[in-house]
A and B are shown apart, each in its own frame.
Chain A
Amino acid sequence: MLVEETLKRIQSQNGVQGIIIINSEGIPIKTTLDNASTVQYAGLIHQLVMKARSTVRDIDPQNDLTFLRIRSKKNEIMIAPDKDYFLIVIQNPSD
């Protein structure tokens, strides 16, 4: 329930286009987008987060990745990584 509330709150924010939760294997657990897009995002972002995390860790083993933002021309993809799960939100900044 708490999870549902959280996701609903996120979804209601301005400009949020979609939310995807994937596990460490890259399997989408929960999503608000269609299947094809979800699978695309899951596959690509999973690899990117792994790379980013290993980059941060290689430079300083005590460090770890806390957040990843990808700003593109059309929107912004925000990824919050955890040990087992990733929360991905695609937002179109209104300003």
Chain B
Amino acid sequence: FSKHVLTEDIVHREVTPDQKLLSRRLLTKTNRMPRWAERFFPANVAHSVYILEDSIVDPKNRTMTTFTWNINHARLMAVQERCVYRVNPENSNWTEVKREAWVSSSLFGVSRAVQEFGLARFKSNVTKSTKGFEYVLARMQGEAPSKTLVETAKEATEKAKETALAATEKAKDLASKAATKKKQYV
């Protein structure tokens, strides 16, 4: 079934004092991306995926736990899987497995950052245009505008710079927190 698994190696193994077997396996698998993904992430195409599988076999309690995750391409997509195998409590002839998986991508963080930046820039542009609008209205209605056009423009530009700076910091922060930000749990 598993032609996509290319290699398998044990890279660590030990028996603990309480007779549990700990192992770490290194697997390499083909990196089969959908066509659209190949276009967006050409750098990832050439490299197969490296995966580690850590396992604990406990013959006394008759359980086995595995934890598997990819150690490259992780910013693009990180998949983690945890399985617990044990004797079925209702039927000791059966083994039951509980399988959990988490899928996450730092790309989610990038889209948040883009949104935040766009929103902040929009807000600062709106401030500029509103101030200009108010100025023109005041002139048209014969009022002396509270400030000259030059002052108003300067104020608006300063405000805009501040907002943009805050947005950039927030965007950077979001982008770097990205990998842990959004996970789907299965």
Same assembly: no
Question: Which residues of B line the A interface, CB within 8 A?
Answer: none
Question: Which residues of A line the B interface, CB within 8 A?
Answer: none
